[in-house]
Amino acid sequence: MFRYFENIIDPFQPFEEKTPPKALWPYFWSQIRTLKGWLPVMALSSLAVALGETFLIFYAGRVIDLMAEAGLQAFWAAHAAELVFAAVVIALLRPLLIFGNHLLLEQTLVGTLHVQSQWRAHRHLLGQSMGFFQNDFAGRLANRVMQMGPATEDSAYIMLEALWFSLVYVVGAMIIIAGIDPRLSAVLIVWLTLYLLYTRLLVVRIAVASEKWSDGRSLVTGRVVDAYTNIESVKLFAGVDTEEKYVLSAFRRLRLRLNRFLRLATELHLVLNLLNGLLIIGMGGYGIHLWTLDQVSIGEVSATLALALRLNGMSGWIMWVTIRLFEHFGVIREGLRSIAVAHSVIDRPKAPALNIGAGEIRFDAVSHHYGKGKGGLDNVSLTIPAGQKVGLVGRSGAGKSSLINLLLRYRDVEDGQILIDGQNVGGVAQDSLRAAIGVVTQDSSLLHRSIRANILYGRAGATEAQVVEAAKRAEAHEFIEGLRDPKGRTGYNAYVGERGVQLSGGQRQRIAIARMILKDAPILILDEATSALDSEVEAAIQRTLYGVMQGKTVIAIAHRLSTIAQMDRIVVLDQGRVVEDGPHEALLDRDGIYASLWKRQSGGFLGQEAGQ
């Protein structure tokens, strides 16, 4: 039974992948509309439960009147059948009705919306550009994605299980009390008006305080995760005190925002108890007064008092769930700041896959200034014939990384175009573009998964033998065989830790190279691919890389110029422009920037001013 209700709606079903709405209610509707025709069913079941609860109190008053009218001797003889029927309804039918209502609300509604909103938010963020992730804390983004689930599902749950139930209950109570005496319902109407006015005033303030509180939580999470992610740097630079102060400032801000929220909660207790005191005195006292005038029965006075006491208990619950609802609204609004952001790099509708041939790359008058009007690349034209191996050299800020990022389409060019085998990379599907390019960077981070899973990222369908062969060619198989993680997993099953922290820099680099070898892409980008290796291992890897390069188009960036001196051609960038282009010996003879960098090398590295 549970499984049936859990599987009514598939939270992972295909959906129209577009930027989520920025406004609260359009976003909320985009999530709950997947429930389709089940929302009215949920509303009707909550309606039935609320009416049943109201009728229960009314019937308790009726029983008291029946007892008073029939007397001790005649009560059971006159009303036994009715009481047995009422007992069956209360003992069996009522629990089944409530059970069915909760199956719909919890298994179907909550079970769907919780993971659906998180999954869709995650899917959207995965499509964001590299620049998007570089401009925010990973921890804050993750926090916002994970908070959307409980905030969205609990908002829907509160509306159906609490607010809709309470509305039906109060309306039912008013009808019953009006049937007893219209003057009693007037007291309830006055209380309800004051209650709603205060609720409206409170939730506006709660919404603002909640959004700021949620923002404070995300800031703390972002700073804490940032410290943990970069714990090696924190330790190396004795930065524990610095991190404590940095995070403490966020915690202080969070506490201030929490205190503002809690002040409203404390104020709520005072005002609510004043209003509820007036309700009990007003309805109970006035009911007793009408009884003294013989205008209502004892059972009706009892029902009136019971309804007043029940509303006294419910009013606090209703207020709290209303506050929680608007707290969730604040969380959703805060989360939408990151989630409802349009992708800056998008595929055109029905963009074709890159039809990779020989692998020629052409930069045609490419300019990219990161929206600043200057810096970056300025009118770069460069053709790399298929199968050619090109070294890319330049001082820090020369534009090397910008050129690579645009080729990988981490960003779109502002002017000009980049062509691979005559196809504009801006017009093909991003995944197909990156599938054709193998990349090894200076800081090759790994996924917190097994060694095997990390290598298989290069080609998911590869066999075990192909994985091992790639590792051997990357000089990684021997150390992999000796690995053992904290949970006892060994060899290719061993986990590498977050970003590969269980491995040394050289080991991470060799796993990344193995992954690239397994991918076997026609275009290779080597960005300081051997910088983390010792000389002996580097020499072996260099031989492997030269073998891997055969028949492929290669762009290699290296500070150690000796590693690219044997390239077919070396391109020198300076201030976003190509200033020198030619073989190693020809550039030395030219005695320009490249020759200057070559002379300044110490131990095979560029000087400080030539860093990337």
pLDDT at residue 415, as a whole number: 93
Does pLDDT of 77 surpass 90? no
Q: What is the pLDDT of residues 478-535, one digit of tens each?
A: 999 999 988 899 999 999 887 777 888 788 888 988 999 999 999 999 887 776 566 7
pLDDT at residue 227, as a whole number: 85
Among residues 407, 336, 340, 388, the alpha carbon closest in space to that of 569 is found at 388
Q: Average pLDDT of 335-357?
A: 90
Among residues 222, 212, 308, 324, the alpha carbon closest in space to that of 268 is found at 324
Q: Average pLDDT of 101-112?
A: 91
pLDDT at residue 610, as a whole number: 38
Exposure string over 335-372, b if 16+ CB within 10 A, otherwise e: bbebbbbeeebebeeebeebebeebbbbbeebebeeee
pLDDT at residue 532, as a whole number: 58
**Cβ(593)–Cβ(580) under 8 Å?**
yes
DSSP-derived secondary structure for 41-54: HHHHHHHHHHHHHH
pTM of the model: 0.74
Q: What is the pLDDT of residues 202-256, one digit of tens each?
A: 877 877 887 788 788 888 888 888 888 787 678 877 788 888 888 898 899 889 8
Does pLDDT of 603 surpass 60? no
Does pLDDT of 323 surpass 80? no
Percent of the chain with pLDDT over 70: 97
Please give the CATH architecture assigned to the domain spanning 22-339: Up-down Bundle (1.20)
pLDDT at residue 467, as a whole number: 95
For residue 586, count other CB atoms closer than 10 A to its CB. Answer: 13
Does pLDDT of 23 surpass 70? yes
Domain with CATH 3.40.50.300 in the chain: 361-610
Write down the residue that tokens 């960005």 correspond to: 527
Does pLDDT of 146 surpass 50? yes
Alpha-helical runs (H) found in 417-504: 430-435, 451-456, 464-473, 477-481
pLDDT at residue 611, as a whole number: 37
Q: Average pLDDT of 403-432?
A: 93
119 phi and psi angles, rounded to 5 deg: -65, -45
Mean per-residue pLDDT of the chain: 85
CATH superfamily of 361-610: P-loop containing nucleotide triphosphate hydrolases (3.40.50.300)
Does pLDDT of 607 surpass 70? no
Percent of the chain with pLDDT over 90: 32
Q: What is the pLDDT of residues 364-408, one digit of tens each?
A: 999 998 878 777 899 999 999 999 999 999 888 888 888 999 999
Domain with CATH 1.20.1560.10 in the chain: 22-339
pLDDT at residue 531, as a whole number: 66
Q: Average pLDDT of 416-443?
A: 91
Bigger pLDDT: 360 vs 280: 360
Give 391's strand partners.
Answer: 556, 570
Residues 6+ apart with CB under 8 A from 311: 170, 173, 188, 191, 276, 279
Residue 376: left (phi > 0), alpha (psi -120 to 50), or beta? Answer: left
Residues 6+ apart with CB under 8 A from 97: 45, 48, 49, 52
Q: What is the pLDDT of residues 533-547, one digit of tens each?
A: 667 667 777 777 888
pLDDT at residue 471, as a whole number: 93
pLDDT at residue 390, as a whole number: 94
Q: Which two tokens stand for residue 589?
A: 């003879």
**Cβ(592)–Cβ(600) under 8 Å?**
no
pLDDT at residue 606, as a whole number: 45
pLDDT at residue 533, as a whole number: 64
273 phi and psi angles, rounded to 5 deg: -70, -30
For residue 549, count other CB atoms closer than 10 A to its CB. Answer: 16
Q: What is the pLDDT of residues 156-205, one digit of tens each?
A: 988 888 888 888 878 888 888 888 888 888 888 888 888 888 888 887 78
Does pLDDT of 570 surpass 90? yes
